[in-house]
Structure formats: C-alpha cells, structure tokens
Chain A
Amino acid sequence: MSSPVESPTTLVIEAGRAERHYWRDLWRYRELLGFLTWRDIKVRYKQAVLGIAWALLQPIVTTIIFTVVFGRLAGMPSGGVPYPLLVLAGLLPWQFFSTALTGSSASLVGNANLISKVYFPRLLVPMSAVGVAMIDFVIVLGLFFAMALWFGFLPTWHWLVLPVFLINALAVALGAGLWLTALTVKFRDFRFIVPFLLQLGVFISPVGYRTDFLAEWRNLLALNPMTGVIDGFRWCLLGGTQALQLNSLLASFIISALLVVSGIWYFRKTERGFADII
C-alpha cells in the first residue's frame, strides 16, 4: 500500500458518480455469475417428473406444429430441405432469444431480496438468465445434430461459422434483455409486454419459413435483428443450402451492437436506483 489513492483496495463512493471499478468488479464477481446460472438451472427442474426432458419437449412440439402449419397447410417452400430440420434450425436461435429475454426481464425483480441486501454488479443477474438460456440452447443443439444425422445432413465446414451467429444472437438477447430488465424494475407493465412481444416475434421472425423465397418482404423482415440471426443459423446448420443475405445480416449486426451498447448504458444509468425502487 504505497499511496493510499492508488491502492487497489481503496474504494470511493460518491454521489452522482458512476463507479470507477465497475468492470473490475464484474470480473471479480465472475464466479457469482456461474453460481447464479447454476442455481437457476438446478432449481428449474426440481420436483418436475420429466426434469431436463422439458428442455427437449418444447422444441420438438413446436417443430411439429410449425412443420404442419407452415410446411403442410400453408405450403411454404422448403428448398429441398426436410421441413422439420428447417424449422428446428430457425427455432434454435429463436428459443435461445425468447428464453433469455423472458428470463432476464424477470430476473431483477425475481432477485429483489438480493438486490436490496447485498452489493454485486447488478449486470450479473440478467447475464445469468442469458446463461441459463445458453444451457438450453446446447441441449437443443444436440437434438438438432441427431435430427440432421437422421435426415442425412452431415456437418459441413459451415458449422464452424456458427459461433459468429451465436454471438450475434447473444448480443440481441442481452441488449434487449438489459433494456427490459431495467424497465421492468421501474414499470411492472413490462411483465405483460414481454410475453406479448415474444408471441408476435415468433411470426415476424422467420422461424417457420425461409426468407429467400419472400423477396418482397425481405427488407422489411431484415429490420428485425433476429431475421439475420436465423438466416445465419440456417446457412450454417443446413450446409449453405440457403444463401446468406447481406442486408439482413448487416442490419442484424448493427442493430444488435446498438442494442448491447444502449442496453448497458441504460442499465448502468438506472442501476444505481434499483435498490430504492425495487
């Protein structure tokens, strides 16, 4: 401890000033992120007979329904890809997004007892909800892999690009999640708005259909950042059978970056008052 001001353990709390050590604290508390995620996963399937099977059951049922509705009844073109595979490839990022968004927007209010009694970077709470969604994602990815093999779609080099789109999906989910989390603390209305948004979103995102056969809607759909993500996932997972569309991809990258930056900004801005209003 040579100089008191520079000592790493000196902490100055001042009115109206953002914490200087925030990002260092976030790193110091990284284990807590793991613990919170682990707790939520552990608790989620307690006292449920089917347990972890629920993580698979939901996408399977949705895939069947979408295959029937979009593939059979509406007769949407599949471009030579088995329709269930097409749906599941789109459902993978969508479900990740929807679980992450639902989880994170409820996370702070659900952990109100923690917020009002202990200090830790609040950012960890919505982040842990995204972590939970990530675990589900990995399980469903396993399901997709098994299904792809069953239909004779072997992994191609395209799969290697998947992390790029995964990060993109993560950015959309975290960005929107941060906004909604912070807003839910202040306005409980968002508890009702989020499920509604997601219900709508599953149709305006190309989960059940391909965008490359909808030329006139393409640019409008591209405004939804999840369109680029889902297109990217299909391109990766279905071995390039659906061409990449630059406009939706670019729009998705830009919007997700904006969402993350503005989400962190808004979250940090409101975070200081969380304990007072939660």
Chain B
Amino acid sequence: MSAIIVEDLGKRYLIGRQTRHDTLRDSLAHGARSLLTAFSRGPGANQEEFWALRDVSFKVEPGEVVGIIGRNGAGKSTLLKLLSRIAEPTRGRITLQGRVASLLEVGTGFHPELSGRENIFLNGAILGMSRREIRQKFDEIVSFAEVERFLDTPVKRYSSGMYVRLAFAVAAHLEPEILIVDEVLAVGDATFQKKCLGKMGEVAGSGRTVLFVSHNLPVVRALCRSAVLLSEGRMVRHGDVQSVATEYLQTGRVAVDGNAEWSCSTTLETPHLARIELVTGCTVRRGDPVRIRVTIGGRLPEHPVVTIHLRDDEDRIILHSSDEYNPALPRSTVREMTLDSSVLNVGRHHVQVSLATRNVVEYDIKESVLCFSVEDPDFAVAGTDAHQWKGALSPHLPVWT
C-alpha cells in the first residue's frame, strides 16, 4: 500500500475573485452584472480561470523521501496545500496512509505575547501533537532550540534567530507517518542550518515518508532518493533524484540557449530593461572577453544601477557586478560590461540583469534570460575532460612552483 497516492489532481483558481467579491456592494454589483451577461452571453463569460495544478499523478511508497522541485509558480506550494488539506482540490483524489503533519512555515501560530514555554505547547497543539506528547518531548525541544534561559520570556523579545530555532525545534519533534515540509530550512545561522539538516536527515532515515519542497538542489540531492519535477502546474518528471535534478536544470533554460539577444516589446514609461545583448555571442573561447550590453527603456532614472549576476548550471551565483560608484560613466541608456573570460570555468553561464536606483528601488529584473558557454579547446588537446574540473571559477591565477 502506497503512503501517498495522487490521482489526476488539479486546482483551479478564479483570477480576480478576491477583488471582485471583497465587499458586499461589489458582490451585489457583480451579481447583477453577471446576471446580465448570463442572459446575453451565457454563463461564466467574464470569469478567467487559472489552473495552478493540473493532471498530477504520482505514488510515494512508505519510507520514501521525495523532493518536489520546480521554479516559482510551478505549483509546488499549491500541491503542498492540497496534500496538507489546507485547500481543497478542484479535481482528482489524494489517498494518504497514516498520520500526516505538514510544515509549511516555521512558527505558525506563535503568539508574540506568550512565553517560549507557552508557545511550545500552543504550536505543538496547532501542529497536531497532544498535550502528553508535547510534555514528553518538552526538554528535548528546549535543548534543541538552545533557549533554556529564555523559556519564560515573551517570544516578542527573542532575537529572530532564537525565534526561528524554537519554532523549528517544535516542528522537528513531530512524529507523524507522513511529513510534508516546505522550504523551512532556509532559516537561522549556518550552524543551526546544519543542525536542521541533520535533523531532517534523521527523520528521513527513520523510515518515515517525507515530502520535501526546496529550491536548494544540493539539499534535495542529499536528503531525497527520488523527486517530482513540476512546471507550470504539471508534473514533468517523477523519478530518481539525480535525473530529475538534471532535467530541472535544463528546463526553462533550453529555450534561451543559443540566443544572444533578448528584448522587451513594451513601451512602458517606467524604467525597465528593454534589451540585453551578448555582444560576444553565445560561445566564448576561454581567454576572450565576454561583453554584455544592457539597454534601459522608459524614463532614465537619476542614478540608474545595472547589476549583472552570472550563475552556473547549479544556480549558484558565481559573479556579481554592478555599475554603481563609477563616476566616469556617462549618463546613457546603454551600459556595457566586459569581463575577461579566463577567470570563468568551462561550461554554461546564465545571465541575470537587474535595474535599480542608488537608493535601492528595484525597477526590473530579468532572471536567466540569456546564457553563454565558455569553451576551451586547449583542454581537449591536453586530453582532459573539461567538465571534470570542479569549481565555479577556474582562473589562471594559482601559481605552482
């Protein structure tokens, strides 16, 4: 018997529903209007549907640890909400075998006025623990969170780190058969994150079924054996984590691979990124310069700041550069960045450009719209496989004597 069976699952939202029905007056007006349209055009004429999730089916066996990956808006959160019974599916069926606990946020239901001790009980109860269970685990929770001295202090006086530690500690001591976890690990300082990961690994290793959503691919790879890849509300792939992760890195980028230019057709008045160009093309021979030209559209702000990030295939930022504090720069709608590619490693590089002003108003951001490859034929000559070289950068800087 599978622990989780998802069959043909779908969730539809009606766009604009909230604003339309926010007040009684709106609702009455809308009712009257839709009555009119119903007579003239047939029912549902002016309702726009949006399928946040569609035709998703998969099975998870007991004790399996499954990662759910996908870009923003792929339907990950919707899937979690349906699985944890917060929202109702529009279509399909979910069968869950065993007690389910879901962790969509750290510290849900924490009340700032209550003390740490009181919040442990409250939060535990909200997550579905019984009073007896909480009492049994109380000491463990407190020592895991390292807040012994502040147990009777209202949590509003806690540092944010303490708060998060306590919240995670309560959640980590839940003992359901099925655990559904959203990206809650991106909290706290590095030491605590490590501790959280250790705890997650422990939970995963203890034979419980875990569904784990994250953007953090290395973590997903470390914790999960299989994964589900979602894209635009549909399930693209379900399989072993390595192949799904590879596919995830490919999707959404294949489309831009090979383009040296990106431009935006809007005729906006507000400052925006109108055009991004890889002047040096999609393929750069290592050692040659890489040149990226950015054109600002709309009204030119007082102090425009163009920032470029380069990311590798693993989504890690390997370079951050901005034209800020460059007094010599002429005031112009065109900016150009030139980089000596000999510092980069061989492989693909994804370009992210953002436009802001000096006082941090962000106007526009374009994530990985373009990508270029750095190639080095010399490697081939030397008989080495370039892709075996580790590291995001591979500058000719180290000196061996």
A interface residues, Cβ below 8 angstroms from B: 1, 4, 7, 9-16, 29, 31-32, 35, 39, 42-43, 46-47, 113-120, 186-189, 272-273, 275-277
Contacts and interface: CB of A to CB of B under 8 A. Distances in A.
B85 A10 contact: no
Given A39-B114, A277-B18, A118 B104 contact: yes
Given A9-B97, A15-B10, A16-B88, 10 more contacts: A4-B97, A12-B95, A13-B85, A13-B95, A35-B126, A43-B114, A114-B109, A187-B23, A273-B88, A275-B87
Interface in B60-104: 81-82, 84-100, 102, 104
B92 A15 contact: yes
A186 B85 contact: no
A120 B113 contact: no
Interface stretch (B117-125, B283-291, B328-336): B117-125
Contact of B108 (A31, A43, A118, A186): A118
A4 B95 CA distance: 11
A181 B162 CA distance: 35
A39 B122 contact: yes
A273 B177 CA distance: 27
Contact of A11 (B96, B114, B127): B96
Given A39-B111, A43-B113, A186 B21 contact: yes
A15 B294 CA distance: 48
B13 interface: yes
A118 B102 contact: yes
B13 A276 contact: yes
A273 B126 CA distance: 20
B131 A43 contact: no
**In the complex, which range does the number of interface residues on chain B fall in?**
35 or more
Contact of B81 (A7, A11, A113, A275): A275
B24 interface: yes
B94 A12 contact: yes
Nearest to B124: A35
A186 B86 CA distance: 17
A186 B24 CA distance: 9
A117 B24 contact: no
Given A31-B130, A43-B111, A13 B96 contact: yes
A105 to B, nearest CB: 14
Contact of B86 (A32, A35, A118, A187): A118
A17 to B, nearest CB: 9
Given A187-B24, A188-B22, A10 B97 contact: yes
A113 B109 contact: yes
A97 B24 CA distance: 25
B1 A4 contact: yes
Nearest to A272: B88
B90 A117 contact: no
Interface in B126-174: 126-128, 130-131
Nearest to B14: A276
11 contacts: A14-B93, A31-B125, A43-B114, A113-B109, A117-B105, A119-B102, A187-B24, A187-B27, A275-B81, A276-B87, A277-B18
B59 interface: no
Given A14-B93, A46-B113, A118-B86, A35 B125 contact: yes
Given A13-B96, A117-B86, A35 B21 contact: no
B121 A35 contact: yes
A271 to B, nearest CB: 9
